[in-house]
Amino acid sequence: MYTLPTGQVLIGDCVSIMNKLPEKSVDMIFADPPYNLQLKQELYRPNMTKVDGVDDEWDRFQSLADYDRFTEAWLSAARRVMKD
């Protein structure tokens, strides 16, 4: 039987962690997923401030298909563990 930690943030691979949790056992998930914002050229906001592209390893994907697979995996895991 898995004992759910309370009052703490679970740090690690989100899909792996959520896959260990019981179904419908979580009240809230704070999601700040990777944006896959790997810019090949400069990008500016409407106020003309420059958008910094992502260069961290956790936010790099080999392809859009890989990014889509990751997104579907974490959303499915989140849906499974969230209470009604």
Interval 53-74: pLDDT, tens: 777 777 778 888 998 999 999 9
Sign of CA dihedral 71, 46, 41, 50: negative
The pLDDT of 15-24, averaged and rounded, is 93
- Mean pLDDT (whole number) for 25-48: 82
Look at residue 39 and tell me whether its pLDDT is greater than 70: no
14: which 2 tokens? 């989100």
pLDDT band at 33 (very low <50, low <70, confident <90, very high): confident
Name all contacts of 59-63 with Cβ < 8 Å and 24+ positions apart.
59/34, 59/35, 61/34, 61/36
Write the DSSP string, 10-72.
--S-HHHHHHHSPTT-BS------------SS--B-TT-PBPPPP--GGG--SSHHHHHHHHH
Share of the chain above pLDDT 90, in %: 38
